[in-house]
Structure 1
Amino acid sequence: MAPDPAPPFPDAWRGLVDDAATFPPGDADLGVALATYADRAAEWHSGLVGSFVVTDTHLASVPADVPVSVVLTSGAGAVAGVAALAARKGLRVAGIEAAVRDADDPVGNVRRIDAAARAAEVDVPLFVEVPGPVTAAWLAAVDEVAACGHRLKLRLGNVDHDLVPSPATVAAWIDAALDRETRFKATAGLHRAVRHDPEGGGAHGFLNVLAATQVLWDGGSVDDAAAVLEVRDGAALAATDVAAARRWFTSFGSCSVTAPLEDLLALGLLAPPTQHPTEQP
């Protein structure tokens, strides 16, 4: 008798982690990182990982069968080159990530990014990172991102712990995204599920961010969401409606895939096919 087929990977966790192994602090060799990404396809947890994150300067070295999220290392003008290279090589571009670099004119910068994407006929999600605290100028730039039909990219970590955004700031960012019904992804510092304090500095947890997203979407306040971002009890966060939160929080880039997987296993939110999670999200 043939063995029972392995259960499908839970949709709630599918594609949550984008493999950013070549970015700090991992700084993996590109060839090694690509080989690891390819080898992971045979593992039961491969569904946890979405795209492979690469800078535009290394895009030419990525095989055509690897879905990539491309981080622009320069301004809006880089969009055309990425689109042309992807078309020429038949690359599987899953998304493009651009940062607002003109602090004096963030709205104009968003418009230039949008114009470049339209001129290049980009037909994949475009994530725009608008740095800074929530000010009138920041909100105006986010308004423009939403009006253009693009998505937001939130930077939640930094190698300098003093530059990690506070729970109040992150909650306000998420609230702004949800208020505009704009999807977002996160980057930096989210490789662990639960908020923790490495080397004396606070680091956000991806399960906290999912929970805060749910709280805000359910009508909670920014203060409520900030409190959730402070929670360090993984069991308390495990009841999060992950599927609902991921309608908006699409994924996060992490230099480690192992760390998020370990935490989900420890919390009983994922299990190998021979086991079963104690609770399905």
Structure 2
Amino acid sequence: MSTQQSASTAKPGSAVPAPAVPALFAGLVDDAAVFPPGSAPLPDAVAAHRRHRAAWYADLVGPLLLPASALPAAAELLGPDETVAIGLIGDTGVAGLPAALAGADPRFAVHQAEVAVAKRGEDPQPGLAALIAHYRARPQLRGYAEIPLATGLLSALDAVAAARAGGVSVAPKFRTGGLAAELFPTPVELAAVICACRDRELPFKLTAGLHHAVRHTDPGTGFTHHGFLNVLVGAVGAARGAEVDEIAELLAATDPAPLVAAVADRTAAARPLWVGYGSCSVTEPLDDLIGLGLIANPRGAQPSA
């Protein structure tokens, strides 16, 4: 969630200002500018994140996501009295997490850590057990375990649920795209994951492929991408008790109108189940939400590039 005070705009005839970013979308988009496919140079990413945090839509934006290996270089870009909320992406692996956290510059407020526990096709349990142990020792840290959408997923979710029940701050994270078609789960597969998390009372994060609000095919790659609004509507449906078939239909929808209608009357409510996702662009999802009428652009302000 945003660490800044909510920006607001007053509705005509209302004495109470309305938030510029409704609660349903607060903290939805973590700033993953340095990661593919955007791959912004580190100085550009840090400068752009400052602009996002100062903009009217700041409450849409989560922490700046940085690889553990890039923290020393990123620290050199900070002012002496500057504090930046970050999400640490454990590119140095589970074993490298303690050193990365211990060595982080104090000007970084480490909001969360996200570490992959296994490669696709590997048993996730050994890496997951080690990561949970690290998170257990750091109760102040919000921890995420990136779990492959493959064999062993459900038992891994059981392990995460057991750890949460024991007081560990850990939740699952899943990939919804990548550089190959097989890295994009089908609507049925993703719906099953959402239901599995719902049934275990697990919040979840997503990453990769969620470039636009509505499901679409990228003309450059031919890959069909999930839409972040589809996922949000699916999470709302799951929280209300919908099952896999119904949620899969929502995830497969390409017409924005019914998706917008499904959430238009509940934008003041908090987002259920889905914590948010990392995006290499903040302005693309913002532009989509404005275009769909779900976020109002005050006075025609332009998003900060």
Using the size of structure 2 for normalisation, the TM-score is 0.82
- 1:53-92 → structure 2 map (5 Å cutoff): 53-60=65-72, 61-62=74-75, 63=78, 65-86=83-104, 89-92=106-109
Distance 1:53 1:234 in 2: 29
Say if 1:243 and 1:148 are closer, same or farther in 2 by CA, change over 3 A.
farther
In the TM superposition, residue 42 of structure 1 has moved relative to its aligned partner by 3.0
Q: Which runs of 5+ in 1 are unaligned?
A: 276-281
Deviation, structure 1 residue 104: 4.7
Q: Which residue of 1 is the match for residue 124 of structure 2?
A: 106
Distance in 2, matches of 1:80 and 1:180, equals: 28
Task: Report which stretch shifted further, 95-104 or 242-251.
Answer: 242-251
Query: 1:243/1:56 Cα in 2 relative to 1: closer, same or farther (>3 Å)?
Result: farther
Specify which structure has the higher proportion of helix. 1
Is the CA contact 2:89–2:114 (under 8 Å) kept in the aligned structure 1?
yes
The equivalent of 2:5 in structure 1 is: none
Query: Share of identical aligned residues, percent?
Result: 39
8 Å Cα contact 2:32/2:281 also seen in 1: yes
- Residue 281 of structure 2 aligns to a residue whose secondary structure is coil
Q: Give the deviation of 1:66 after TM superposition.
A: 1.1
CA distance in 1, matches of 2:145, 2:111: 14
Residues 164 and 220 (structure 1), Cα distance of their counterparts in 2 relative to 1, 3 Å cut: same
Question: Given residue 196 of structure 1, which amino acid in structure 2 is its aligned partner?
Answer: H
Counterpart of 1:148 in 2: which secondary structure? helix
* Greater mean deviation of Cα atoms: 152-161 or 204-213: 152-161
Q: Report the RMSD for the aligned CA atoms in angstroms.
A: 2.0
Residue of structure 1 aligned with 2:172, choices 152, 157, 170? 152
One of 19, 24, 38 as aligned partner of 1:8: 19
Deviation at 1:108, TM superposition (A): 2.6
Match of 1:140 in 2: 155
- Distance, in Å, in 2 between the alignment partners of 1:140 and 1:31 is 41
Deviation of 1:155 after TM superposition, in Å, equals 0.6
SS at match of 1:80: helix
> Structure 1 residues 104, 266: CA separation in 2 closer, same or farther (over 3 Å shift)?
closer
| Partner SS for 2:213 | coil
Unmatched 5+ stretches in structure 2: 1-8, 11-16, 165-169, 301-305
Measured after TM superposition, the shift of residue 271 of structure 1 is: 1.0
Task: Give per-residue Cα distances to partners, 1:17-44, cap 9 Å, x unaligned.
Answer: 0010110000000110100110223321
> Given that residues 77 and 116 in structure 1 are in contact (C-alpha distance below 8 angstroms), is that contact kept between their aligned partners in structure 2?
no
Matched letter for residue 53 of structure 2: A
Please, which moves more after superposition, 201-210 or 239-248? 239-248
Contact 1:172 1:222 in 2 (8 A): yes
Alignment partner for residue 222 of structure 1, among 224, 244, 252?
244
Residue 95 (structure 1) aligns with: 112
The offset of 1:242, in angstroms, is: 5.4
2:250 and 2:299 map into 1 onto residues whose CA distance is: 33
CA drift at 1:163? 2.5
Say which of 132, 136, 143 aligns to 1:118. Answer: 136
3-state SS of paired residue (1:171): helix
Alpha-carbon shift at residue 159 of structure 1 (Å): 2.1
SS of the residue 1:52 aligns to: strand
The CA deviation at 1:48 is 1.0
| Alignment-mate amino acid for residue 8 of structure 1 | P
> CA shift at 1:122, angstroms?
4.8
Query: Alpha-carbon deviations, 1:147-187, whole Å to 9, x = none?
Result: 11211111111122343111111111111111111111110
In the alignment, structure 1 residue 163 sits paired with structure 2 residue 163? no
Check the 8 A contact 1:210/1:242 in 2, yes or no: no
C-alpha deviation, 1:59, in angstroms: 1.7
- 8 Å contact from structure 2 (residues 30, 277) kept in 1: yes
By how many angstroms is 1:129 displaced? 1.1
Mapped contact 1:162–1:201 kept (Cα < 8 A): no
Cα distance between partner residues in 2 of 1:118 and 1:217: 27
Letter paired with 1:71: I
The answer to whether the 8 Å contact 1:51/1:94 transfers is yes
Which residue is 1:261 aligned to?
286
Q: Is the 8 A contact 2:113 2:144 kept in 1?
A: yes
More deviation, 39-48/25-34: 39-48
Q: SS state of the match for residue 259, structure 1?
A: helix
